[in-house]
A and B are shown apart, each in its own frame.
Chain A
Amino acid sequence: MLKFTSRSVVLAAAIIAVLITNTPPGNAQTLKAIQVRGTLNCGVGQGLLGFSSQDDQNNWTGLDVDICRAIAASVIGDPAKVTFTPLDAATRFPALQSGKIDVLSRNSTWTMSRETSLGLMFAGVAYYDGQGFLVRRESGVDTALQLSGKTVCTQTGTTSELNLVDYFRANDMSLKTLAVGTAEESRKAYEDRKCDVLTSDVSQLYAERLKLAKPNSHVILPEVISKEPLGPAVRQGDDQWFNLVKWTLYALINAEELGVKSANIDDALKSSDPNVRRLVGIEGEFGQQLGLSNDWAVRALRATGNYGEIYERNVGTQSPLSIPRGLNALWTKGGIQYAPPVR
């Protein structure tokens, strides 16, 4: 039989009052849960070369994987403390919504409907992708504007088919298509010379190129005809976690812009440049404003290097893909990667 003494009522009221007043703004439960658990739960793809795949020792590698490691480093202090969950296209968003994963880093395109109707938010763009074209080097074509009259392999019912029609119409070019079912069939048809052009997202084309008989006898044209901004996504409703993920990504990009890389982090800690000093935490309290210590960015950089290093290692010149930086170069170096300042 419960005894409601006046003392227990007062105690209960006090506890409730404390809970109400101390609930962090925006329901900041994710960071706390991660710190209690000790690991970051990261949702990734199921084997996409350059973005998220496992090597023969079952170690996860890739650009999306490195973003998660950087977040783990800045939040927990250890880039190894990540649990990777490979997800297919159908289960990726429900896993995030249900709380099974803390961040989705699975080359997912940032679109309006995903933000407004799925209850999630994209914390920046890690990779600007888009639809492009692959042709044979011997064709002499070096711009998409020369593709009029050429046969393009397309997969029926995809957005890429629609983009193609729009692009050719806008540039007054005549389009000939060969419709196939899967990406595999597309590649076969191109190899058998049933079509002159392969079209897909540029990152996919660089991976497909490696599967062709003589990879170097094919080129990818410079034009990108659609927008596929890929970035990490988090649940709505937790502003603190959203800021954390977003600013970790921005720290990596700012570091490249400021010339801070793995090899010179220790020198950066002695820098007199105020932008570098604020980034590495010897000036200001930007880490604390995120709920972390002031060396939050340095931890991330020591784990993965800056954005340029992550890019080159996974999809750039240090990987078989060799994708040129293109749109993903810094805004000062011919691309559009632009991070707001740590200020």
Chain B
Amino acid sequence: MDVDYYSLLTKAVEGKDASARDEIYRDAYGLIRKSRLTREAAASHAAALEDAIRRIEDQFVADGARSAAEINEVLSTNRSWKPIAYGTAALVAVIAAAASLYGYVPSKVPGVARTGVTASSKAVRVGDDVVVADLKPGVDGGSTGEGLPFALQRQVVFYRTTVVPGSIVIDRENRFLYLIDSNNSARRYGIGVAQECLRGGSFFHIINKMEWPDWKTSGASTDAPLASAGQPGSPLGARALLLDKPGVLIHGTNSPKTIGHLVASGCIRLVNEDVEDLYRRVSLETRVVFVS
């Protein structure tokens, strides 16, 4: 008849923070109340539960004091460790949960390579077939193309085309986007291309322009706003130009190092500064032509 509340609860509250533990304790009390025990039996169970809870909470405080002492030794400050430790744990838990839950971290990509982008006068293997991993949503990798190789930074280049000036030409194979100007020149931007946008389609136009767009991955509930949407750290970046085919869009990024490479998700991505520059220069109905 005796229930070992202490060992049961210890297992249940392992790794949980104070509010989660409180919920568990309340649930336990509730279970005793709802059970068909006699009043005395219920009272003794409740007492046993209370004891177990007190022992567990004392242990938490003791652990806290011990690690506080350790941390204080290292940091030698009088700051309370609890909010920092809980905050960090919560943040890590939220990011990890969001990433795994929403499937943003690519799980089965063969040969994912760290991008070896270093000094900007070095070469880049534009156009190779290795998929490069993204930064997690919420992590802001930067808004400019500063660390990128020279070829991928926005620049005006010689470019002859029959497409009318003012239109956009995208060369997926070589990872460039051209905003066509008159006089055989164009503004060229480096892009990253998502696998799902690598093939198919050639002639589109812009149907919508969005600033700091919200993003959702396929399968997520449509009314759940995501923690990193609409601000630096958003995987869709500062701007989005939506084309007349669903899923095909030109957008920013929170991982500038993926520019010039194949990526796992999105469509055509530019660094935030570049996509803001492009956004200012194009209007709705602008033609977008994929030439490769």
Q: Which residues of A contact B (CB under 8 A)?
A: 142-143, 210, 215-216, 219, 221-224, 312, 316-320, 322, 324, 326-327, 329, 331, 333-336
Contacts and interface: CB of A to CB of B under 8 A. Distances in A.
B158 A319 contact: no
A329 B161 CA distance: 11
B283 interface: no
5 contacts: A219-B155, A219-B156, A223-B158, A322-B124, A326-B158
Contacts, number: 73
Interface in B66-92: none
Contact of A210 (B121, B124, B153): B121
B123 A322 contact: yes
A216 B126 contact: no
A222 B151 contact: no
Contact of A317 (B126, B169, B178, B183): B126
B145 to A, nearest CB: 10
Contact of B161 (A210, A215, A312, A334): A334
A215 B150 contact: yes
Contacts of A224: 158
B210 interface: no
B109 to A, nearest CB: 20
Contacts of B188: 324
A318 B260 CA distance: 12
Count class of interface residues, chain B: 20 to 34
A197 to B, nearest CB: 15
Interface string B174-194: 100010000111101000000
B256 interface: no
Contact of A333 (B121, B125, B171): B171
A324 B120 contact: no
Q: Which of A219, A222, A334: most chain B Cβ within 10 A?
A: A334
B291 A333 contact: yes
Interface string B84-108: 0000000000000000000000000
B149 interface: yes
Nearest to A319: B123
Contacts of A324: 151, 155, 157-158, 188
Contacts of A216: 120-121, 150, 153
Nearest first, the 4 A-B pairs at minimum CB distance are: A326-B158, A322-B151, A334-B159, A317-B126
Nearest to B159: A334
Nearest to B174: A317
Contacts of B153: 216
